[in-house]
Chains A and B, each alone.
Chain A
C-alpha cells in the first residue's frame, strides 16, 4: 500500500499532514457545475483561452496549509489534461491551466470539489473589476528600489565630505560628487516621489493643505538649493538628505499599506448570491447562471439555498430564514402563492418558485441604488495628520518669509539662503513618518487579534468615534443555536423524555432547539408521531396524546390555553429574568405550546442567545459612548435589550435597511462620529454611511458586506479594547508630532539665523527621523501591551495572541 502511494507520488500528502483537513465525502450532485460550460460564463471566468488551452483562477476558501498548496500544485499528477497550477496562498486562489478539449471546466471544478476544495463561485465573481490583480504594489516596490539606489550611492559619495576627507582627493572631487548626486537624485525626485507631487497638487486644487504640500515644497527647495550650490561651486548640495528623506517616506508608506488579500472589504450583495440556480423548464431541470435568469423562470430551491430574486412561491412549504437580510431572527413561513424576497435562505424541504423581478431590481438589491454606494469611501482629507500639517505649513511659510524679510533689511545675500534653509530643515520628514508608522503598527497588532482594518487610517477614525450603533441579530446575538425557554407547569422527567423523542422526529429548526434544551434520558419509543407542516406535531405514547405546536393549532385541536400558568424555567442562562417577558410573548403566539392529554402544560419560547460576554461589553461601552440599537427584528426582545443597553440609550426595532441608513445620517447631522457594528446585508447601507463600519463575521473570509473593519465574531467582546487602543494610538501620533516639532523648532531657529551648515543639516535630518521612528514604534508597542494587560485583568483568560 505504501509502495503504491509512494510510486504515484501522492503519498507524501499524508506524510505532510497526519490530518490533512481535506473534507472528503461531500458528494456533489450530478451536473451541478454544468452552467460553467456555457460560453457567456466562461468568457468572464477564464483568464485566458484558445482552441486548446484555458487558464482559470478560482477562489478556494478551503486552502489553509502547506499540504493544500502541495496537493493543488500537483493536480497534474491526477489528470494528464491538467497543466500547471499555481496557488496564491495569501489570496486563497489557484490558477490552473488545462486542456479545454479534453477536460471541461465543469469537470475540473467537480474534481476540485471532490478533493474538498469547492471553489467559491458567486454572482459577484463575474464582475470584471473583481478579477483584476492589484498592480499598484509593483509600482510601490519599484519606487522604493529606485529611491534606495539613489540614496545609497549618493551617501557613498557624500561620506568623504562628512569625514573631512574630500580635501585629500583633490579639488576636482567636490564638483564631481555634487554633479553625480544631482544626476542620481533626479529619478528619485521625479519617479519615486511622484505620488507626493500628485497628492500635493491634488490638495492644492481642493484647497486643502495636506501634509504633502510642505513635503513637496521642501523637496523643491532642497533640489533647487543643491543645483544652485553645485552650479556656483559653493558645495555638494543636499542630495543625500533629499534621497534619504524620500527613501524613509516610502518605507513608511510600505509599512502602512498592509493589505489583507484574502479579505474583501467592499463586497456587495453580488458576493452573497450564488452563481447559478436550478431551473425547471419543459425539457427538465438544468443549472443556469443567475445572470441569465428572466422574469417568470421556475426555479427549484433546496434546503439551505438562497432565493436569488423576488419570486412567487408555487409549490412546497417555504420556511425562509431572512436573518442575514432583514434581521428577523426566526424563519418565516410562506404558503403557495405568496411572495418571497431575494436573499432569504430556505430551510426544510425543496420549494418551487417563479421569479417576478430580475435579480438586480429586487427589494434588497434596491438598497445598492442608494447614492451612498455610488461615491467612493471618504477620502481622508480631514484626518488628524492633515489637521496638524495645515498649521505646520502655515507656520513654516510664516517663519521662512519672516526670516527672508529680516535678512533682506540686514544682509540681502543671506535672505534667499535663510528662506530655503528654513524650508529644507522644516521639511516634515519626521512629521510625515509619525502617523504612518504608528497607524501601521496598530493595524498589524489588531490583525493579530483578528480585527482587520481596511487601511491604517481607520485607526484614526476609530479614535474619533463617540457613538456606537449596534445591530441585534447576528451581531449581539449569535445566529442559530438558540436556547428554548420553558414557561408553564413543571414537566416530569418522563414528560421531558417524551418531548425530546418527539422533537427528534422533526427537522424543523424550532424542534431542534427544543431538543437541544431537554436532557435526553432513556427514551421510550413513540407509538406514533405525525408532523403537520406549518402547525406542529402530534405524538402518542401508550394512551397518552401529546401535541406540540403553534397556539392556533393546539386550540383548534380542542386545548384551552391557560394564561394563568406560573413560569418555572427549566433552561439555564437568562431564563429566570426573561421568563416574565417570555410568558407574555408566548400568549402572542411566537412560541411552541405543549398539550398533554388535552391539558395545556405551557410553552417553549425561543430566543436567540447573546454572544458570550456581550453584556459585559455593553456595560463597558456604555461608560464612554452613546449606544444605539437598530434591529430589523420584531420588538419582542425590546425590554431585554433596553435593559442591557441602559435606560437612556435609543433602541429601535422593525428597522428596514433604509431606516438604519437614515438613523446613521441623522446622528451624523447632529455632529456625531458614528461607528456601526453589523453583520448582514440589511446593515450594508448603515455600514457604508457610518464613519467606521464594522462587519462581524463568524469565520474570517466568509461573506461580509462592505465595511472598514472586519471583526471575528469571537473577538466581539474585545470591541471596547479595540476602541481604547485606537484612542491611545492616536495619542501616540500626537506625541510623535510633538517630538518632530521640537526638532523642527531647533532646526528652524538655526536656519532662520542663517547659520545652517551642510553638516548640521546632514546630522539633524536623519537624527530627527530615526528618533521619531523609534519613538512611535516603541510607544505603540507599549500602548498595545497596556491595553492587553487591562483586558487581561478584567477577564480571566488573557487576550490570546493569534499567529
Chain B
C-alpha cells in the first residue's frame, strides 16, 4: 500500500511544479497581453542582422 502513498505524493509534487510554473508565467506578465503574441507569430523574422544597440537580452529595463 505504501506504493499508493508514494504515488499520491509524487503526483502532488508534480502538480505543485506546474502551479509554480503557472505563477511564474503570470508574474512575468505573460497574461497581460494575450492578443499581440497571436499576431506576432504570423510574421517571419527578417534575415537582416539585428541592430547593435543593446536589446533587453543584455540589459533588463523595467
Contact = CB atoms under 8 A, between A and B. Distances in A.
Contacts of A16: 43
B1 A169 contact: yes
Nearest to B12: A153
Nearest to A11: B46
A696 interface: no
Interface residues of B, number: 39
Interface stretch (A140-148, A585-593, A639-647): A140-148
Given A76-B51, A77-B51, A84-B55, A145 B1 contact: no
A152 interface: yes
Contact of A76 (B8, B16, B23, B53): B53
B48 A48 contact: no
Given A77-B46, A138-B26, A53 B39 contact: no
Given A80-B52, A153-B12, A145 B19 contact: yes
Given A141-B26, A142-B26, A149-B19, A133 B48 contact: no
Among B15, B32, B62, chain A packs the most CB atoms within 10 A around the CB of B32
Interface in A367-409: none
A8 B27 CA distance: 37
Interface string B27-62: 101011111100110111011101111111001011
Interface string A126-165: 0000000100011001100110010011001100000000
A10 B53 contact: no
A87 interface: yes
A66 B43 CA distance: 8
A7 B31 contact: no
Contact of A82 (B5, B36, B40, B53): B53
Contacts of B48: 7-9, 77
A507 to B, nearest CB: 41
Contact of A88 (B5, B19, B23, B36): B36
Nearest to B41: A66
Contacts of A287: none
Contacts of A81: 53
B40 A83 contact: no
Given A99-B53, A138-B27, A169 B4 contact: yes
A632 B1 CA distance: 82
A133 B32 contact: yes
B48 to A, nearest CB: 3
Contacts of A73: 40
Given A69-B39, A138-B32, A176-B5, A152 B55 contact: no
Nearest to B5: A176
Interface residues of A, number: 48
A445 interface: no
A12 B46 contact: yes
Contacts of A523: none
Contacts of B52: 80
Nearest to B54: A83
B53 A12 contact: no
B36 A152 contact: no
A803 to B, nearest CB: 13
Given A8-B48, A55-B61, A82-B51, A89 B36 contact: yes
A83 B26 contact: no
B23 A90 contact: no
A157 B9 CA distance: 11
A141 B22 CA distance: 9
A2 interface: no
B46 A152 contact: no
Contact of A89 (B5, B12, B35, B46): B35
Nearest to B19: A149
A76 B56 CA distance: 13
A170 interface: yes
Contact of B11 (A83, A156, A169): A156
A412 B42 CA distance: 69
Nearest to B48: A9
Given A146-B19, A149-B19, A80 B26 contact: no
Q: Name the residue among A12, A145, A156 with the largest chain B CB count within 10 angstroms.
A: A145
B33 A90 contact: yes
Interface in A49-82: 53, 55, 66, 69-70, 73-74, 76-77, 80-82
Contacts of B4: 169, 173
A83 B53 contact: yes
A180 interface: yes
B36 A90 contact: yes
B18 to A, nearest CB: 8
Interface string A158-185: 0000000000011011001000100000
Contact of A66 (B23, B31, B42, B51): B42
B61 A48 contact: yes
A506 B15 CA distance: 74
Nearest to B57: A84
A10 B48 CA distance: 9
9 contacts: A12-B46, A84-B55, A87-B36, A88-B33, A89-B33, A137-B32, A145-B26, A149-B18, A169-B4
Given A86-B36, A157-B8, A180-B12, 6 more contacts: A12-B44, A48-B62, A80-B52, A149-B15, A149-B19, A169-B4
4 nearest A-B residue pairs (beta carbon) = A9-B48, A9-B46, A89-B36, A76-B51
